[in-house]
Amino acid sequence: MAGERAPQELLLLAVALAFVAVNAVALSLALDGALAIGHFWAPVFWTALMGASHWLLNRYQADRDPLLLPIYALLTGWGLLLVDRLAPNFLARQTLWMVLATGAMLLVAILPRNLRILRRYRYTWLTVGLLLLVATLIFGVNPSGAGAALWLRAPLVSGVYFQPSELMKLLLIVFLASYFDEQVQLDALRTRRDGRTRVAFLTPLLLMWGFCIVLLVWQRDLGAATLFFLTFLALLYLATGEWRYLMGGLFLLIVAGIIGYFTFGVVELRVEAWWNPWPEATDRAFQIVQSLYAIASGGVLGQGIGQGSPVFIPVVHSDFAFAAIAEEWGLIGSMAVLACFALLAYRGLRTAALCRRPFHSYLAAGITILLCAQAFLIIGGVVKILPLTGVTLPFVSYGGSSLFMSGIMIGLLLYISARRAVEL
Amino acid sequence: MSMIGWDVPPPENGGEEDPGLRGRLLFFRIVIVGMLVVFLGRVLWLQQTQSAAFEVLAADNQLATLTIDPPRGEIFDRNGAPIAVNMPSFDVTITPAFLPDDPEERQRVFQRLSVMTGVPVTNTVQQRALVQQADQALVSVYSRLSQLYGAPVDETLDNAGVVPQLPDSISEIYETYSFAQYLPAVITTGVPITLAYRIEQESAYLPGVRVLPQPVRRYPSGEYTSHIIGFMGPLPDEGWLDLGYERDDRVGWSGLEVSMEEEMAGLKGERQIEVDWTGRELRQIGDTEEAVAGLNLHLTLDLELQREAYEIVYRQLEEIRNTPRRDYYTGETILPEIESAAVVAIEVNTGQILAMVNVPTFDNNRFSEEVPVDYYLGLARNDYEPLLNHAIAGQYPPGSTFKLVTAAGALQEGVISPNRFLDAPGRIVIPNRFAPNDPGRSQEFVCWIYQTAEGSHGAMNMLLALANSCDIYFYKIAGGFNQNDEVVQGLGIDRLYNYALQFGFGRTQGIELPIEAPGNMPTSNWKAINYGEPWSTGDDYNAAIGQGYVTSTPLQVAQMGAIIANGGFLYRPSVVHHMTDENGNLVVRNGDGRLILVLRDQDGDLSYQDRQGNPVPANEITIPIQFDQDGNYIFQPEVLNAVEVDRQWLDIIAEGMHMVNAEDGTGSGYVDWLDEFGISSAGKTGTAEYCDNIAIEREWCGFDDIEQRRILPTHAWYVGYAPYENPEIAVAAFVFNGDEGSAASAPIVREIMAAYFNVDSYAPQSEETDQPSTGEEVVPAQPTEPPAEVPTTDE
């Protein structure tokens, strides 16, 4: 069985390479009118890294899911093109992060003998996560000077910031997977269904809700709060199969949203700009209106890379990457991005279903759901189906912490998919 | 397989996973794919169906929200003569968002604009040249200072007088306002209409340049009404933005323009438009939210009377300015400096102000577009404060006019019977309370008549005391007296305070104008708190004749006259008769603070609406509304209080006032009243001794005792009303440094009454007969009340 699907993966990687290469050429021609080296070094790095990844994974994790790496490759490659196109001064930084993320992915996918360390020390991970949250509340800064203080300054290295909430996403999934793993087993041993079952699942539900509220109140981090809570709800439902938890949780989410609407200016602003952006098209709803213009002008085939005007959208390179894709690659490009996430969901959840150990199932499902939910939130916001929440489009958007943690998550998925038959 | 012994074993069925789990994972797969399909559908919809509509918006045209400024309410006098109106004026503006993006193109637009308007494109070169011409040491010191304190360098240099700051150039305005991309920034205001048309014609070549018509306030009656109407200016601070104002709006700064700002401003409207790349409007999006016009004010003021009153005051000031006066202090005969006067004419039965005069005055038309610096500084630095409405904000001792209050209190409290005669020598001496036998420490109080040939008033009762303005009589009834078997229990300051407050002294009365001053009415407690000294009999004496700590505004003195005239009612003084909307319908402010539109149909039935046009039920209207047969609104006077003085006592005071204007009264010395026209009158003179900053600067105040008196400048008061039998109008006049009230102020009041009753102009008596100074009292100031602000002179 070993490596029997490697050719598939290689084929898909070649497709991604072709896409990136063609677009790099097009970008260079569109912007500079000639082939300029400045537009090619990042794709070259990327090609080398993906090649190495393929080779290393073939060697050490031959049984892995063959679609995960191509999805990761295509989206990160696309992301590099976008950063080059939209915010070229960030290209070097983003490339560096891409290298680090891919390295971390490979380490996570290849090195561990098992994942017991994640499962056994769940409360340590939870504590680390909470400490990070507290540290952000106290020491948090915003590198751009103003706005929500969600970053921690890296010690020793100047100019490097890290967003702890990105790490917390993973820690949270690990903790929850481990916790539910244990609780479900305990539940199976119980002879009598009594209130303790409820308590075991309801207590974290409420704690989690409170935790997200804290995030919202103190940090105004609308995106992270929503994302954490959605992921948690999905895992809770997955573990218990209780519809009522899911419904109750969604109800709590709506309640929090309503409270936020009446309490925080930022929530009110986002909701109003979502409901009807036109009265303030030149003012507070400028971003979303420009995003709609950009998407609408895309057409089926798009304007072509470097030929639209997505830079009218403020912070297009992080939050509004999807709008830029829709403008310059059109419906085809949008479909490709959406298909990538659909495939990721399909393969990730398939991996989860095939796992023998519930912990692995929960972990794989949690990661998949988190990545997809994050994509939903931002794509939904950009096309004005949901209110805007400031999260990145996984793999594609500019943002080091996000890319790095996404890399680790893909690494875990690769690992689990390769070892799904193993008990621990 | 377990590291820890009690670790839970996996489920029994050979590692087979929870069967439900697969189903739930499938569920999530469907949810995720479903969501992605929805997004794809949304993108498809945006691109396929909305693309054309958005493209038009995004590529060619811009959306802009325009606010529609409502016309500001205008102001008319009681007969409908215009006092404040709106005239069109044209502002040349640039809208940063619609200017060319290319710097060279933009520069070309600026240059063309500069040629047409005369505003320089940039003046950095000239500014730098000015800086180089200036004293370099000063420049560096001030620049450093302003950097230290974070102040703008240019402004600091300008304020310090080191380097004048040139007016803003087009480039500067562009940079300053480029943060507000879609708001027009004003380049220059008030351009001629021909230039406005030329710029509009060239607008295709001048993208972003617009001419905006801007209403400008005009005041046809100018300086005659400037203190009442006030003027407008730019927003005083950022706080106004929260009230719905915009940065370039103008708001009231003084007078009715500020106190009735809310009523006159109206409500802004709004509409969204699409504009092309030159900034011209293409079409409107959505409905227009119409502006609601500001309310028109109809004043109680009679503009004709107001004008005449000004003329009268100017004439009178000119006359006494040219009458040589002997300076008590130096003994020289000089021409006095007479610059300041205030007059209030009021309808006694309603509290409506008919005329309110302040001299010196200013022309509020000069503030209508921008504040001319030199003109403003000239006004602001004038000692006589021409910008201040002295009629309601000037606080002076009321002098002998205040005896009316003392009389009312003493009669009502039974301190004195009106028929009792008191001995009124020229001077009385009261022993020191703590050293009754030490003549060196006793206090002497003199009457004005002590300086004249007569030397004393003899025996006086209330009517005579009022008619002759006998100081000694009022000293005795206010502070008490117990010598030579004559015992009078005085009214005392605290009872006097009670009556003074009812007459409107020591408090504001709620006129619609801003900065109404309360004046001061002391109590014994007040002196203890402010001076740390007990109230003395001497203080009672001074308060009795409106000196010492008592101060009042001309309005309060006029109101006192009106109270005597109308039988004891203090009405709220009012300059606004009523308000109307743009269709002429009455608008009133309801008791709950809402503005209510009153609609009157053919049959005289009333219905009510609020400002948004919603009907208001009649039972929510808490104020009286009346119309006469012709459908004109009847002014509804508001009684602030009725004075607690019996009618009989008020009648006695009125009779005393009538005697003031009769033969031998203090009011008739220089004036022939209106009896020859069949109009009888009543009044009271007053001459207040008072030293303020103006007098100190001019060395008018002498504190050395000359003939046992301190010499202070004397200010002339007169308050009167007419007709005596059936009073209609009360007039108070105050002339700063006017000396005797009978000579300086009484003629003003007489003339204004003559103008009001429309009788022939008064021809002043020729001054050939060298009249001795018998007509008026001069009130001695007492050593018990050293004006704290006056330095003691060593000379």
DSSP string, B612-664: TS-EE-GGG--S---B-TTSPBPP---EEEE-S--HHHHHHHHHHHHHHHSTT
Separation between Cα atoms, residue B387 and residue B444, nearest integer Å: 41
The predicted structure's pLDDT at residue B6: 42
pLDDT at B135: 77
Give the pLDDT confidence score for residue B770 in this predicted structure: 41
Provide, as residue numbers in chain B, all residues whose Cβ is less than 8 Å from the Cβ of A292: 46, 50, 54
pLDDT at B383 over 70: yes
B24–A380: do the CB atoms touch at under 8 Å? no
Distance (Å, rounded) from C-alpha B670 to C-alpha B769? 11
- The most confident of the ranges A86-95, A145-154, B151-160, B350-359 is B350-359
**pLDDT, position B699:** 76
State the pLDDT at residue B776. Answer: 45
Among B residues 181-200, those touching chain A with beta carbons less than 8 Å apart: 181-182
Q: Could you tell me if B30 lies within 8 Å of chain A, comparing CB atoms?
A: no
Q: Which residues of A touch B26 (CB under 8 A)?
A: 349, 353
pLDDT at residue number B288: 81
Res. B764: pLDDT tops 60: no
> Which among B446, B535, B553 has a CA at the least distance from the CA of B497?
B535
In degrees and rounded to multiples of 5, residue A329 shows phi and psi of -110, -5
Task: With cut-offs at 50, 70 and 90, classify the pLDDT of residue B523.
Answer: very high
What average pLDDT does the segment B361-379 reach? 82
Residue A302: closest C-alpha in chain B:
B47
Is residue B778 over pLDDT 80? no
Dist. CA B720–CA B723, nearest whole Å: 10
Would the pLDDT of B783 be above 60?
no
Q: Between B565 and A212, whose confidence is greater? A: B565
Residue of B nearest to A331 (CA): B44
pLDDT at B788: 38
pLDDT band at residue B792 under the 50/70/90 scheme: very low
Answer yes or no: do A297 and B58 touch at CB < 8 A. yes
| pLDDT at B762 (0 to 100) | 45
Residue of A nearest to B20 (CA): A241
**Residue A194: pLDDT band by 50, 70, 90 thresholds?**
low
Percent of chain A with pLDDT over 90: 21
Q: pLDDT digit string (tens) for A259-276?
A: 888 877 777 777 887 777
Bridge partners of B587, per DSSP, are: B579, B597
A422 pLDDT higher than 70: no
The domain locations on chain A are 2-417
Three-state SS for B571?
strand
Q: Is the pLDDT of residue B558 over 90?
A: yes
Residue for token digits 């092309």? B276
Find out whether B45 and A389 touch, Cβ atoms under 8 Å: no
Q: Sorting pLDDT into bands at 50, 70 and 90, what band is B10?
A: very low
Average pLDDT, stretch B337-347? 92
Q: Average the pLDDT over each of A126-140, A148-162, B80-94, B770-784 and give the range with the smallest value.
A: B770-784
Q: Tell which wins on pLDDT, B372 or B685.
A: B685
- For the segment B342-346, the average pLDDT, to the nearest whole number, is 94
Give the closest of B36, B55, B182 to A282, CB-based. Answer: B182
Buried b (16+ CB within 10 A) or exposed e, B318-331: eebeeeeeeebbee
- Model confidence at B447, in pLDDT bands (50, 70, 90)? confident
| Contact B529/A at CB under 8 A | no
What is the predicted ipTM? Answer: 0.83
**What is the pLDDT at residue B790?**
37
pLDDT at A1: 41
pLDDT surpasses 50 at B772: no
Lowest mean pLDDT among A47-51, A211-215, B471-475, B645-649: A211-215
Give tens-digit pLDDT for B72-124: 899 999 888 999 988 888 888 888 777 887 788 888 888 888 888 888 887 77
Q: How far is CA B737 from the centre of its chain?
A: 24
Task: Determine, for residues A241 and B22 on separate chains, whether the beta-carbon distance falls below 8 Å.
Answer: no
Share of chain B above pLDDT 90, in %: 23
Average pLDDT over residues A328-333: 88
**Structure confidence at residue A70 (pLDDT):** 93
pLDDT mean over A77-94: 87
**Chain A interface includes B272 (CB < 8 A):** yes
A326–B47 CB contact, under 8 Å: yes
Contact B66, B288 (CB under 8 A): no
Chain A nearest CA to B98, separation (Å): 13
B28/A338 Cβ within 8 A: no
Residue B104, Ramachandran bin (φ over 0: left; ψ between -120 and 50: alpha; else beta): alpha
* 3-state helix, strand and coil shares in percent for chain B, rounded to the nearest 5: 35, 20, 40
Q: Is B487 on the interface with A (CB under 8 A)?
A: no
Number of other CB atoms surrounding residue B446 within 10 Å: 22
Which range, A85-89, A154-158, B513-517, has the best average confidence (pLDDT)? B513-517
**3-state SS assignment for residue B176:** helix
